[in-house]
Amino acid sequence: MVDDCEDNLLLMELLLQSDGYRVTSANSGTKGLLEVSKQCPDLIILDLMMPDISGLEMVWHLKNKYRSSSIPIILLTANSNLNIKDVRGVDAVCHKPFDVNNFLNKIKSLIDVSKKNLIFQN
């Protein structure tokens, strides 16, 4: 989870941990890229607007690195005009505020599909 707002990070950590996920968080795009380089997460959740590296810039970096190119990415945004077809390399766009159940279902679905793809690639 990458978001420059500490409150959003804490809320997201609590939400995801209560649903059984292990969460690593970063409060900037730069720190997020460093965390991804240290470990290979099953899914990346990014805020769109961050001061150092935007969510869109992070997507570009993540998709152009070998280890992280296949990791599913959810982009969080308050911009209701942004759609999935407007963003290359993103697997889902969730608009804030979001429905918690739909959000958790999207996470589970993306992780399940990602793991199935890994099985078929071996």
Which sequence spans correspond to the domains of the chain?
6-121
Percent of the chain whose predicted confidence (pLDDT) is above 90: 60
Mean pLDDT of 58-72: 85
Q: Which carries the bigger pLDDT value, residue 70 or residue 80?
A: 70
pLDDT digits (tens, 9 = 90+) for 26-39: 999 999 999 998 98
In this structure, are residues 87 and 76 in contact, taking their beta carbons and an 8 Å threshold?
no
Q: With bands split at pLDDT 50, 70 and 90, how would you rate the model's confidence at 116? A: low
Q: What is the pLDDT of residue 46?
A: 94
Measure the CA–CA gap between 43 and 62, rounded to whole angstroms: 12
Q: What is the pLDDT of residue 109?
A: 93
Q: 6-121: which CATH number, 3.30.70.260, 3.40.50.2300, 3.40.190.10, 3.30.300.180?
A: 3.40.50.2300
